[in-house]
Structure 1
Amino acid sequence: MKITFDVSVQNFKSIDVLPKSWVTEDYIKLLDVLEYGDTDGLTDKELEEMCLLSLADLEPHESAEIVLRYVFKNQFNDGQFESLSYEIIEDQSWETYSDLHKHQDFFNVGQLLYKAYNGKFKHPTAMLFEVVFKANRAESLSVFENELEATIIRLLAQGMPSNTLLKRLLKDELKGADFPSANDILWQLDRIDSSTSSFTYRVLSSKRWFDDIKYVEDFTAILELE
């Protein structure tokens, strides 16, 4: 069975800070690790500024290891943390690390370090956009009830250039094979509007996967179901 959708990508923009990625409590905890001292009386803005300044007082790899350990907790051993603290200075770990499940957290680490050192680290960039899927029949919208992330990626990829990374690396998944990495490719996904014939989603993902979305014009996509 084939289901057709009219797809419209809207309000595309690149961002370098993910929504709610770093909050006041995080800055307080990091300042404690950094042995800053008493933080009582500091405003939220001052806490952020003191955290960034305290990180910048250290060698880049030292700050990187502190932030990596804070974010990833016990997901790596000591040797791995040490290696990653040097790698993230040169590499875009939020795009290149082998485990896609960790990419969003690497992005948040990189974003804080980039801001603390005013550019010594790589500049993380993510893609934020909205997409409208309009169906010819209202019942067609039921395809979004299962494998939501995979369904959205399969539809979006059809409007993207032939050489886009999604099409080159995920050929089988886009054709319908198991797609366990879909949840790790779309970092944040929210339905922001709906009607009897359409759903609108806000999508946040890595530049690695969706940089080409800026070239996409309205298109028709076909989803093939068994």
Structure 2
Amino acid sequence: MNYQIVINNIDTVNEVEGYWSDEDLIALLEKFNYPDGATADKSSLPELLEMAISDYEPNEAAQIVLEYKLGEQLSDGQIEQISNNMLIDKVCEEYPEIHMQGTLFHVNQLLFKAYNGKFPNAKASIVHFSMTPTEGEVQKLTSENVLKLLNKGLSDRNLIKRLFENQISQNIPFPEAESIIWELTTEDNINYNLVTSENWINKDDIQESEFESVLEEVEDEA
């Protein structure tokens, strides 16, 4: 199916609003030995958590937050290693398990704010775009659909194109797309917002802001 693609804007942000829920903040406050989070004013929870975190050594705090978010997926040894590496590298951009990179970004930025820059400052991109079919009916697009359609407008320097050239350009499965795109939202199945790492898509990656693209049906590898 043919689509008309328009990339309206890319916002570069230090954090994604709404990722940490009030329940998350209360649970983390308890883990940082602040038991009164449940009775605190909701608007004060982020500030209270930053204060509670800053009472700990940076790598120790990182272990606590990582255990909370990824304790079921990582071993204690992995968490300890990542907590130390986070102080010197943007682990959220380099970690080989792509499906964890989004969570690692949010953990990193929580710690970056609490410690006023002791952790590297990673950034995310929020891409605002539209994808309008020039024929046929409007349908809700998946992360895989979106990246394949965006391919034509991305520079050859783009990291996704360099690492996943075949998957993004051919009608074969691209399962990594679900991990590369952290959030994909739309209200009308035409205008979309996606959230991803600046490492995956940034403003310099866009070589065309308006173009046509074809979405082919993915062939079953079996």
How does the TM-score come out when normalised to structure 1? 0.87
User: CA shift at 1:37, angstroms?
Assistant: 3.9
Which runs of 5 or more residues in structure 1 are unaligned? Answer: none
* Corresponding residue to 1:160 among 128, 146, 154: 154
**CA contact under 8 A between 1:12 and 1:214: conserved in structure 2?**
no
Deviates more, 1:34-43 or 1:199-208: 34-43
Which runs of 5 or more residues in structure 2 are unaligned? Answer: none
**CA contact under 8 A between 2:3 and 2:131: conserved in structure 1?**
yes
**CA contact under 8 A between 2:93 and 2:197: conserved in structure 1?**
yes
Question: In structure 2, do the counterparts of structure 1 residues 6 and 39 end up closer, same or farther at CA, with 3 Å as the change threshold?
Answer: closer
The structure with the greater share of residues assigned to strand is: 1
Q: How does 1:1-226 map to 2 (within 5 A)?
A: 3-39=1-37, 41-139=39-137, 141-142=138-139, 144=140, 148-174=142-168, 175-194=170-189, 199-211=190-202, 212-225=204-217
**CA contact under 8 A between 2:158 and 2:205: conserved in structure 1?**
no
What is the letter of the counterpart of residue 170 of structure 1? F
C-alpha separation between the residues in 1 aligned to 2:132 and 2:26?
45
**CA contact under 8 A between 1:31 and 1:54: conserved in structure 2?**
yes
C-alpha separation between the residues in 2 aligned to 1:91 and 1:64?
13
**Secondary structure of 2:29 counterpart:** helix
How many residues of Structure 1 are paired with residues of Structure 2 in the alignment? 216
Over aligned residues, Cα RMSD in angstroms?
1.9
Question: In structure 2, do the counterparts of structure 1 residues 178 and 31 end up closer, same or farther at CA, with 3 Å as the change threshold?
Answer: same
C-alpha separation between the residues in 1 aligned to 2:215 and 2:40?
53
User: CA shift at 1:95, angstroms?
Assistant: 1.4
The structure with the greater share of residues assigned to helix is: 1
How does the TM-score come out when normalised to structure 2? 0.89
